[in-house]
With several copies, the nearest count.
Chain A
Amino acid sequence: MNGTDPSPSELAEFRAEVAAWLEQHKPADPGFLLPQTFMEVGSDQQLEFLREWQHKLWSAGYLGVHWPSEYGGRGMHAAFQHEVDRELRRQRTPITFNVIGLGWAGPLILDIGTDQQKALYIKGILSAEDIWCQGFSEPDHGSDLGNAQTRAVRDGDDYVINGSKIWTTMGNYARYMILLARTDPSAERKYDGLSFFLSPMEARGIETRPIQKITGEYGFTETFFTDARIPASCLIGGEGNGWRVAMQTLQYERGAAAGAAGGLPQVRISVSDLIDDIRHLRRDGQPLLEDPVVRDRLVELIMEEKALGLADRRTGLPGLNTDYPLSLPLSFKLRASEYQRRMRQYGLELQGGLGSLYVGDEQAVAGGFWQRAYFNNFATTIGGGTSQIQANIIGEQVLGLPKS
């Protein structure tokens, strides 16, 4: 899965190859707004476009470069995939949308799955043939994963599932779900009653209902299990180990170096994009960008974004992370998601009268990009532990403050 560390020149050569390939093969603007994250895939049109793009990237040998070659990878060092990922970002390609497969399920299966599971699932993840979704959150226990109530009862060679999950990304398109369900409701610690499954989505008794987002678009489903039967072989990590497996899964989010397949899980939206988009606007008859108050606020946002990037770099320098070792990694989500919320919200404010228009209006700035981006951003300040919960975690684990 890796080998010895590649030399800088090997990496540079590879990067150049990727760059050249991308210049030639990255898709042209399809003429409709593409999702910035995999949670925003809201139409068949978008889905097919992204599926084709991921398949093409993988076929060229640039996805899961460090995954085993017998399952669709190339068995190279993860640093090569990292070069691909940087180049995808630099060239602003569309996202590699099968994120739950590439970044969660795939690395988990490679780490602790059986050979049979690897053979069954990995290649389809890379090729985008099999879309994966995630079944962690439940309607009544949004931020409280450990309290999941969906039941899985062993019955012969099957488990019988009852309950419901919510915020299932691409639930209506997915072939498989990573599912956290309760196998032992009487476990003394609630965490010990959970198990982790690689569940097929086409099983009888599984139904999805699309959720319309605040933007007016779709992108998530609610998923209902009514006496749904899935084979016991879907269990991964052993019965009762679901919590531990789920926590392990979350570690892969950190990218190729942590075991994920790589790719571009989301398009980063920068304040420079905002500045470009509003540069032509005017305020009080003068160019907006000449207004001193606007300039001051933009500088604050630029600084905040730059600090995020610098913190990333700092994480790699041990000498600068001795005082509060967990500070930068644990606070990344909070800092990034709240920064984006403020920046995108300001993006609307800056538009003047045009900020009153919406996606679909031909006069809207950048097609209503910022309107949609602001609304969509709540997925990141709410999902995966709200900002309020993130702040608890940081306060407690970095500063050692007592639990709330």
Chain B
Amino acid sequence: MPMNNMQMVFGDEQGMLLDSARAFCRDRSTMPAVRALLPSAQGFDPQVWQQMAALGWLGVAVAEDFGGSGLGISSAVPLVECMGKHLLTTPFIDTTLVARVLQQAAGSDLSQRYLPDIVGGQIASLALLESEDWGDPAIGVTATPAKSGLQLSGAKTQVAYAEVAELFLVSVMYQGVARLLVVPTAAVPSAAVSRQTCIDETRRCARVDFSGVSVGMENLLPGDADSTLREVMLLGALLYAAEAAGSAAACMDLTAEYLKTRHQFGRPIGSYQALKHPMVEVLVAMENARSFVYHAASLVNEATPDRDAESACRMAKAQASEALKFAGDRAVQFHGGMGFTYECDAQLYIRRAQWSQQVFGDAYHHRKRLASLLLDS
């Protein structure tokens, strides 16, 4: 069984990226800044987004030919973890995933057409999900040949930042085969985009009805999308796992700080084992998530994740989902009455936990697939 691969590397470049991300997130994503964005339409600060582009972060998974740094998707992991820790929430993950797909699976025409703009700050989003079922093998959106190219039918749900994206990467059925299609948002009428209410108020997503939208044939990525979809599902799981691990750490820090200062019955409440020991469980769950995340990051830079890399990505997501869910739940409980208020930051984490656990498949989704990988050999 693939338990023996214990590869774990953390290069100087990743270290430097992490250092710069730390400084950037601490500076740009203070808690007041996070709070101020909650009721906003867009959910993030466009200036911050442009600064991220300027730092080259949107090009980590993009080759130098197309304006990127070619560091590879594993370099996005420390960035995302750090963003998770500071609740700096932007279209970064989805945009990075689209860039990775275009980089690896598109022809050079498509890459040349879209990648340099993405590196420069254009927002791109994945449109994959059609129902509540992240494990649904079927694709309902269809692309049919029409006079002007392809005519689409069907809708996608939970398309991240759909209202401000300039590009969708859409999974479609075309002539009975799963394919990926680039749909510029210009081709989508704004009425087709209906905002959804995210439980994690730092995020934005929408339902997008592609019915009636036409795009050119040249926007179809070459070949059967099955392996690319598998890959993007794994990398999406990894990046959201990294973010969740960061958020779990921040949630733990917030709670630990409260437990040091709050007194009840004449003692700081953190001195009670009933609170201290579950905090240790949160710590261990979070650290395990980090270990899986960096293990996976050490294995995913190749074109197609192999069995070990798949296993690592799935473990990362399964563990990080559970770690943040547990951390968020305990954060609210251990803040006592304060934890029950919207004003207390614990709510930000418990809400994020509900989002994070689902996106790109929940813990059980991944464990079920791990069972096949690990037990059926």
Contacts and interface: CB of A to CB of B under 8 A. Distances in A.
Interface in B296-342: 315, 318-319, 325, 329, 332-333, 336-337, 339-342
B342 A354 contact: no
Given A142-B336, A143-B265, 10 more contacts: A214-B340, A275-B1, A292-B368, A296-B364, A310-B6, A310-B292, A313-B291, A353-B158, A388-B273, A398-B283
A23 interface: no
Interface string B6-22: 11111000110010000
Contacts of A142: 264, 336-337
B339 A214 contact: yes
Interface of A: 137, 141-144, 166-167, 211-216, 270, 272, 275, 281-285, 289, 292-296, 298-300, 302-307, 309-314, 317, 319-320, 323-324, 327-328, 331, 334-335, 341, 345, 348-349, 351-361, 363-365, 368, 371, 375, 378-379, 381-383, 386-388, 391-392, 394-396, 398-404
A214 B249 CA distance: 20
- Most B CB atoms within 10 A — which of A275, A302, A383? A302
B131 A353 contact: yes
Top 3 A-B pairs, shortest CB-CB distance = A352-B132, A284-B135, A361-B197
Nearest to A390: B280
Contact of A353 (B6, B157, B200, B340): B157
B279 to A, nearest CB: 6
Nearest to B372: A295
Interface string B109-138: 000000000000000000001011111111
B342 A357 contact: no
A83 to B, nearest CB: 17
18 contacts: A143-B336, A216-B342, A285-B136, A292-B368, A299-B370, A300-B367, A303-B318, A306-B315, A310-B292, A310-B294, A317-B8, A355-B199, A356-B205, A378-B332, A392-B277, A394-B280, A396-B276, A399-B276
Contact of A282 (B133, B157, B273, B283): B133
A358 B368 contact: no
Interface of B: 1, 3, 6-10, 14-15, 18, 129, 131-138, 157-158, 196-200, 205, 207, 249, 252, 256, 259-260, 264-265, 267-268, 270-277, 279-280, 283-284, 287-288, 290-292, 294-295, 315, 318-319, 325, 329, 332-333, 336-337, 339-344, 346-347, 350, 354-355, 357-359, 362, 364-365, 367-368, 370-371, 374-375
B6 A313 contact: yes
A295 B280 CA distance: 27
Contact of B371 (A296, A364, A395): A296
Contacts of A275: 1, 375
Nearest to B338: A142
A311 B288 contact: yes
A275 B276 CA distance: 34
- Most A CB atoms within 10 A — which of B199, B318, B319? B199
Contacts of A381: 333
A214 B332 contact: yes
- Most A CB atoms within 10 A — which of B197, B274, B346? B197
A275 B1 CA distance: 10
A94 to B, nearest CB: 22
Given A214-B340, A282-B131, A404 B283 contact: no
B279 A395 contact: yes
Given A311-B288, A391-B280, A401-B276, A320 B132 contact: no
Nearest to B12: A319
A100 to B, nearest CB: 17
B195 to A, nearest CB: 9
B331 to A, nearest CB: 11
A349 B357 contact: yes
Given A299-B367, A353-B131, A356-B354, A304 B3 contact: no
B368 A319 contact: no
Contacts of A299: 367, 370-371, 374-375
Given A212-B343, A285-B138, A317-B8, A352 B199 contact: no
A304 B289 CA distance: 10
A144 B364 contact: no
A402 B268 contact: yes
